[in-house]
Amino acid sequence: MTDAGQKGRAGQIPGLFVAPAAPNPFTDPEPSLALHYVPDTDTQAGATDEQLQTGGGKAVRSLVYGIISVLTCGGFLILPLIGLLIGFLGLKSNKRGIAITGLCLNGVSLIIPLVVCLLYVVPAAQEAAKRMQCKNNLIRIMLAFYDYHEERNGFPPLYTMDANSKPRHSWRVLILPYIGHAELYDAIRLDEPWDSEYNKQFHDEMPSTYQCPSNANKGCCYVVIEGILTPRIGTSFASMQRGLSNTLALVEVRDSFNWMDPEADIGLRDLEQGINAGGRVGSHHVNGMNAAFMDGSVVFLTNDTPSEELRNWGTRVGPVAQTPQNRVSPTVQAPQNRSSSRNNLAAYNRIQIGMTYNQVVDIVGRPTERTASSESAGYQYETYSWDVTDSPGAYFSVYFTNGRVASKNQYGLR
C-alpha cells in the first residue's frame, strides 16, 4: 500500500473511507484526499440483503393495514394492532419511511374509537343512567303518595293554607317523612309560611329525590297537575274516575324552582303547550320527559306526544284517554274475587312488611290477579289488589318489591 493509502486508512472515521485522489500535476503538487461513503460495518452485519427485503415487505404491510384501519375508523381493532407490530419489525429495513407511516396510521386508527367513545358513547351512557335515576325519583315519590294515602285515607293536598286561604306549604313538604326525611319535616314550622324568616333556612335543604340529575340547575324539577291533587283536602283513589293508569300524577319541568314553593305546580294550560315546546313542561333529557301515572307506573313521553292527550291524562274525570304504549307497568285492572269488608279489614291488618305473596294469600284466604308490574334498576315491583262485595268501591292493595311486601293501602274497609 502506498504512503497515501496508508494515510487514508489511518484517517478513516466510522462510515467514511479516505481514499487517495488522482494528483493533478497542474494544481496539486502533492496528492489530495477525497472522501467516499462506506456503509457502517455494524449496520451491514445487522441486516443482510434478505433481511432488508423482508423488513421492507413488513413495512409495506404495516402501511396497508394502517390505511385500511383508518378507513374503517379502527373498526377491526385486531388489524391496527397487527399493523403496529409489523411496523416495528419493518423499521430495520430499506423502507423505513413506509414503516413509520404505517405505524402512524395504525396508531391513529386505534385512537379514533377512543375519541368516538369519549365523545358519543360515554355521554350517551351517562344520560341513560341519569334518565333511570330520574325515573327512580318519580317511583319513590309515588310510593310516598301511596304510603301517605294508606295512613290518612287520601293523598296529600296540593298545598296547605292559612286562615285567609293563602298557600302555606307544598305537598313536597308533607311527604318528607315518607321519603326518608322525617327530621327535616319535624324541623319545618308548618304553622308559618314556607318563606317565613325561620323557614327560609330550609330552602337549600332540598332532598335529592326532587331533582332530576339531567338538570344542571339546582332546584326541584317535579310537579303535579292541579286538580289531581287539590288544595286543603287531598284526593283519593276513588276520586280517580278515569282510572289510575289513565291519570297523570307527576311530570317534569325544564326550569327548576324552590322545592318548598307551594304554588310551583302546573295546570292543564301548561300541559296543552306540549313537551319541550317552549312552555314549562319538559326536561333536559333527549327528546322527551319522564312522567308518573297514578297507578305508580313511569313513562317516558316523547316530544311529539299530542297536547290533547296530555290534557286528557291531566284530569281525574271525563272520558278515558288512550293509554301510552311504553308504560313501565300495564294498566291497573279491576280486582277480582270479592268478600266481605269486615273479613278483608281483619286480613289487611295482619299483613306485615316483608311477607311473601303466598303468605299474604294464606292470610286473605284467596289469591288474586296481579294488577300492575314494573322493573327498574334491578328491582321488581308488583301490585296485587283485593276487592270486596258489601262495600262498593272498597278494596285493598299490597305492593311487593322483589317478592316481599313493601307497603299496602286500603280504601273503604270497615
CA distance 146 to 153: 10
DSSP string, 181-216: -HHHHHHS-TTS-TTSTTGGGGTT---GGGS-TT--
| Whether the Cβ atoms of residue 73 and residue 109 lie closer than 8 Å to each other | yes
* Residue 88: φ, ψ to 5°: -65, -40
- 273 grid coordinates: 303547550
pLDDT at site 181: 93
CA distance 180 to 141: 11
> Residues 14-44, buried b or exposed e (16+ Cβ, 10 A)?
eeeebebeeeeeeeeeebeeeeeeeeeeeee
| Whether the Cβ atoms of residue 341 and residue 412 lie closer than 8 Å to each other | yes
CA distance 399 to 409: 9
CATH number of the 338-411 domain: 3.30.1450.10
Per-residue pLDDT of the chain (414 residues; tens, 9 = 90+): 445 444 444 444 444 444 455 555 555 555 544 444 444 444 444 444 444 444 445 455 555 555 555 445 544 455 555 555 555 544 555 445 555 555 565 556 566 666 666 666 555 667 778 888 899 999 999 999 999 988 888 899 999 998 888 999 999 999 999 999 999 999 999 999 999 999 999 999 999 999 999 888 889 999 999 989 988 777 888 788 778 888 999 999 999 999 999 999 999 999 999 999 999 999 999 889 999 999 888 989 999 999 888 988 998 865 555 555 545 443 333 333 434 444 677 888 888 888 899 888 888 888 887 877 776 666 777 888 877 655 555 677 788 888 888 877 776 676
pLDDT at site 157: 92
| Whether the Cβ atoms of residue 259 and residue 176 lie closer than 8 Å to each other | no
* Residue 288: φ, ψ to 5°: 155, -165
pLDDT at site 223: 96
What is the pTM for the complete model shown?
0.55
Question: What residue spans define the domains of the chain?
Answer: 3-44, 154-313, 338-411
CA distance 396 to 349: 11
pLDDT at site 159: 93
pLDDT at site 70: 47
* Residue 145: φ, ψ to 5°: -60, -45
